[in-house]
């Protein structure tokens, strides 16, 4: 397969980063993208920092080797653990995603916010520094969402078992008085319909994907890397997991776009 010219490179431990890809192509419709889903090694949240860093370096190197002009680490765990190392090793701009505790803390009326994230994100120094810097004046109730990434990867985002799993994580937060729920994993926006069945209109759900897309657009503009609007964008997807599962997932979230899916 021939290379796409100057794509935005994006990677995640699996399919969750497509929540960010979806926002990127919404605000940057002329940009080509190259997305790498490392579903064979999903989830990253239960791996060691050394392993996450090594996987992230290999994938980032691959994306750049395929011509990526910028790399978006569309994974909270990989961002919190590996993004600084990626920026040290590689010369192209590297954009990460982190739990949106700052906007949640600033807008909370009760002074209590919930964070649903992977264990790797919650345990990371990167997250602790973010919380201390931006949410020191509020109470952050963080819960690791064991099993949620797998539910999204396997197409079970709205199953009854997934809703019950979410209920176990979220209802104690509601009982504690949180009025904001930060989604600290890029897989979790695909669970929003199920989350709303639990929380209704009682709290605001904060998805960081739009902010990451805006940051990507700003970096491209500042670096004079925006694509010519006369070019027809291309979208290529690589997966280390099940190619057919990725095709099915893409059909559900963006059925009217042309793309190529390949096995890594």
* Helix, strand or coil, per DSSP, at residue 253: helix
Instruction: Give the pair of three-digit tokens for residue 250.
Output: 């893409």
Tell me the torsion sign for CA atoms 20, 22, 27, 28: positive
Distance CA 179, CA 156 (A): 26
Question: Which of 75, 173, 213, 220 does the annotation list as catalytic?
Answer: 75
Rg (CA), the chain: 18
Active site residue 75: yes
Instruction: Give the pair of three-digit tokens for residue 75.
Output: 């994974």
Active site residue 185: yes
Which residue is associated with the tokens 């993208």?
Answer: 33
* Helix, strand or coil, per DSSP, at residue 181: strand
Measured CA to CA in angstroms, residue 14 lies from 161, 180, 186, 225 at distances of: 21, 26, 10, 27
* Helix, strand or coil, per DSSP, at residue 9: strand
Question: Which of 100, 183, 185, 195 does the annotation list as catalytic?
Answer: 185
- Mention every residue, 6+ apart, whose C-beta is less than 8 A from residue 74: 10, 11, 12, 16, 17, 18, 19, 20, 21, 97, 186, 212
- The catalytic site residues sit at 75, 185
């Amino acid at each position: 397969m021939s290379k796409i010219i100057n794509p935005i490179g994006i990677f995640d431990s699996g399919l969750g980063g497509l929540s960010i890809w979806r926002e990127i192509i919404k605000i940057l419709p002329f940009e080509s993208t190259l997305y790498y889903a490392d579903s064979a090694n999903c989830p990253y949240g239960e791996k060691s920092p050394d392993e996450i860093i090594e996987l992230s370096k290999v994938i980032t190197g691959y994306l750049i080797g395929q011509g990526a002009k910028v790399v978006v680490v569309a994974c909270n765990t990989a961002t919190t653990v590996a993004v600084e190392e990626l920026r040290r090793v590689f010369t192209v701009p590297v954009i990460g995603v982190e739990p949106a505790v700052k906007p949640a803390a600033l807008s909370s009326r009760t002074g209590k916010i919930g964070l649903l994230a992977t264990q790797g994100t919650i345990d990371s120094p990167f997250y602790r520094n973010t919380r201390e810097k931006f949410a020191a004046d509020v109470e952050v109730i963080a819960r690791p969402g064991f099993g949620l990434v797998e539910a999204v990867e396997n197409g079970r985002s709205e199953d009854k078992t997934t809703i019950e799993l979410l209920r176990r994580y979220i209802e104690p937060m509601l009982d504690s008085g949180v009025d904001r729920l930060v989604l600290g994993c890029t897989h979790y926006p695909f669970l929003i319909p199920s989350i709303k069945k639990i929380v209704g209109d009682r709290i605001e759900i904060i998805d960081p994907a739009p902010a990451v897309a805006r940051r990507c657009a700003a970096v491209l503009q500042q670096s004079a890397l925006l694509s010519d609007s006369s070019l027809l964008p291309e979208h290529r997807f690589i997966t280390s997991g099940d190619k057919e599962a990725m095709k099915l997932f893409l059909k559900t979230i963006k059925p009217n776009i042309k793309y190529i899916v390949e096995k890594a």
